[in-house]
Chain A
Amino acid sequence: MKDSNISENDVITQPVKIAARNVQVYYGDNHAIKDVNVEIDDKTVTAFIGPSGCGKSTFLRCINRMNDTIDICRVTGDIEIDGEDIYDRKVDPVQLRAKVGMVFQKPNPFPKSIYDNVAYGPRIHGLARNKAELDDIVERALKRGAIWNEVKDRLNEPGTGLSGGQQQRLCIARAVATEPEVLLMDEPCSALDPIATAQVEELIDELRQNYSVVIVTHSMQQAARVSQKTAFFHLGHLVEFGDTDKIFTAPEDPRTESYITGRIG
């Protein structure tokens, strides 16, 4: 996990998973996202970077319609996943969120046991027919969340009793337990120490095998370490989007260059 490994990020062309066209987001009168067009590839880590308040988290929350829970929030434009408009009237956000998992900024395990935390999603979606299958799903999810070895002996202990980094990996395990196709991460490491951050970043890199991962981050180093594609947001605009090494080595837009060199933001 060195800064210098940007060039090692392999860029293999993958099919487009999420396509956004002319997306506008309003919070009441505030125009938070202005005309964003972006195509996010499958089995790729895409990082959203930009200064605070630039709209990157807002845009992320549009992808699984978490913004629906905010009364004053209004979204226009199209966001398609696998060619289907997720803002179509026929789409039930609950089904969408099973397909598009999310990990939040602050680790937010349920105040239940570790097992129940992971099993909750599969239970409500009816993914397991019996206890043995559910056990399997939980074990697989915890392994994928790279936390199985630490918690396998204490699955019945409360998830809230784990350390911050463990909690965040538990939340990732919980998100992958419902077999999503896209994983959204909203600054997943901002509440973690460097060691826990390193573990989570390693995990993100592995998750790329199966999912399209979109990560919002404040740390440009992190974006450079984990992502293959990077999008730079500024004041609600998507300023530049492209291969991570290109964004960090030869940005086209002067604003991107100012940000990554530390002149704005």
Chain B
Amino acid sequence: MTDVANTGAPAAPKTSKSLLTQDARTIKRNRAETRFKMYGIAAISIGMLMLVILLTTIIGRGTGAFQQTFITLSVPLTEAKIDKTGTRDIEQIKKVSTFGYAPLLSAAFAQKVTELGIETDLKPKDMANLLSKDAPATLRDYVLENLDQIGQTVEFEFLAQSRVDGYLKDRVDRGSIANDKNISAEQLDLVDGLLVAGTLEKRFNISFITGADASDARPEAAGMGVSMIGSLSMMLVVLVLALPIGVAASIYLEEFAPKNWITDVIEVNISNLAAVPSIVFGILGLAVFINYMHLPNSAPLVGGLVLTLMTLPTIIISTRASLKAVPPSIRDAALGVGASKMQSVFHHVLPLAAPGILTGTIIGLAQALGETAPLLLIGMVGFIASNPPETIAEGLLSPNSAMPAQIYEWAKRSDPAFYERAWGGIIILLVFLISMNAIAVMLRRRFERRW
């Protein structure tokens, strides 16, 4: 280097600066970049925080609904009370209403308390009051199905009433029951005694997942099962209708339709439909499917049709996007070897677009699964205590609710026990949504691995 300098090479311009120091402009730019990164990190942190709050709240409040307090009792099925004629004639036995079974429960409860040696001033009827109002019906159903058991003593696990359940879940305490006519301090003393004796315990309650809704007086007996069937029936309708219609419409629009103002108008309208509030589809369903076509009220079939209308734009948009993402060179290649337009679409383009189509469909379904507003308008919300339908047709046509509608129904009831169940229902709904998304991811992976 010194040689070069000595030979009189022109000196470096004075403006040249060392690379080891940053000039003012670079410092400014670097600061701007750092600031932007900080904004991004802050935004993500806020998002994550919200998610954590959401999940902890839901799990904290909802898991209680999956546990229920049960009381174990041995009930003597006294023939004199149930079958006065002694003929085991089912028609005669059916004449005994649930009120007729209540004394059996009171007697059994009193005997249990005596056996356990718990001292209480309560009358047998008040003791039996700790049981759910569902208990006599449970007993009656059992007797009607097992006539040979009359005269025997059978051990049952009855649901405890919601105040007892609330007491075990710290929702109810001696202070809060001061003006509560459903439960008294003496009854809570008895609960404490039974708890120590192990007759009364809190454990997992499968009927919250499988059971039907219950009336206001028996929150402990309410379950999501029937509305789950309602939701699944609707999803079946949506899948069967929206997937083929949506995919066929997108393929036609994307691959075959001439590009002119008519297709432009259709395209704009489909995009707009995706943004239409779902309640609009609800009132459309009410007007068209129920008032005009006279399909049954509150039926999952109608709900499914409404949700199909709502899901179609989502499916069409995502399908068109994934068809567009298939490189045109594949179409050229197929046409170049003499494939017809349809062969090139069905043999080459569609398989490549399948993962995207599936993902779009499942996301559309998940969106439909969580939709409540349109269901309010077609009467799919309300007290549906019917037993699970037996056939698919019955499931589609008989009145039913849906999971989000059931949650809404519970949340608006006054008893805090229902409030807990609403949170529990949200957990079930979220499990459904997460598993649907997991299926979407899995299918995507699987298909993409194939090519």
A interface residues, Cβ below 8 angstroms from B: 64, 66, 69, 71, 94-95, 97-98, 101-104, 106, 108-112, 120-121, 124-125, 158, 160, 171, 174-175, 177-178
Contacts of B334 in A (CB 8 A): 110, 120
25 chain-A/chain-B pairs, Cβ below 8 angstroms: A69-B335, A94-B338, A95-B338, A97-B336, A97-B337, A98-B337, A101-B337, A104-B329, A108-B327, A108-B332, A110-B333, A110-B334, A111-B451, A120-B337, A120-B347, A121-B337, A121-B339, A124-B337, A124-B338, A124-B343, A160-B451, A171-B333, A175-B337, A178-B337, A178-B338
Q: Is the CB of B348 within 8 A of A101?
A: no
- Known A69-B331, A104-B333; further 7 A-B contacts with Cβ < 8 A: A71-B258, A71-B259, A94-B339, A95-B338, A102-B336, A108-B333, A174-B333
Contacts of A106 in B (CB 8 A): 329
B45 at the A interface (CB under 8 A): no
Q: Is the CB of B332 within 8 A of A104?
A: yes
In chain B, residues 329-366, which have Cβ atoms closer than 8 Å to a Cβ of chain A? Answer: 329-340, 343, 347-348, 352
Q: Is the CB of B348 within 8 A of A97?
A: no
Q: Is the CB of B336 within 8 A of A109?
A: no
Given A104-B332, A109-B333, are A124 and B339 also a contact pair (CB < 8 Å)? yes
Q: How many A-B Cβ pairs are below 8 Å?
A: 66
Q: Is the CB of B337 within 8 A of A174?
A: yes
Which one, B258, B259, B338, contacts A97 given CB within 8 A?
B338
A106 and B328 CA atoms in complex are apart in Å by 11
Chain B interface residue count, CB cutoff 8 Å, equals 20
Contacts of B336 in A (CB 8 A): 64, 66, 97, 101-104, 175
Given A104-B329, A110-B330, are A66 and B335 also a contact pair (CB < 8 Å)? yes
A66 and B327 CA atoms in complex are apart in Å by 16
Interface string of B296-333 (1 = CB under 8 A from A): 00000000000000000000000000000001011111
A178 and B337 CA atoms in complex are apart in Å by 7
Q: In chain B, what residue has the closest Cβ to A112?
A: B451
Contacts of A111 in B (CB 8 A): 330, 352, 451
Minimum distance in angstroms from A91 CB to a CB of chain B: 13
Q: In chain B, what residue has the closest Cβ to A95?
A: B338
Contacts of A121 in B (CB 8 A): 337-339
Q: Is the CB of B347 within 8 A of A158?
A: no
Minimum distance in angstroms from A137 CB to a CB of chain B: 13
Which 5 pairs across A and B sit closest by C-beta, in order of nearness? A98-B338, A111-B451, A121-B337, A108-B329, A102-B336
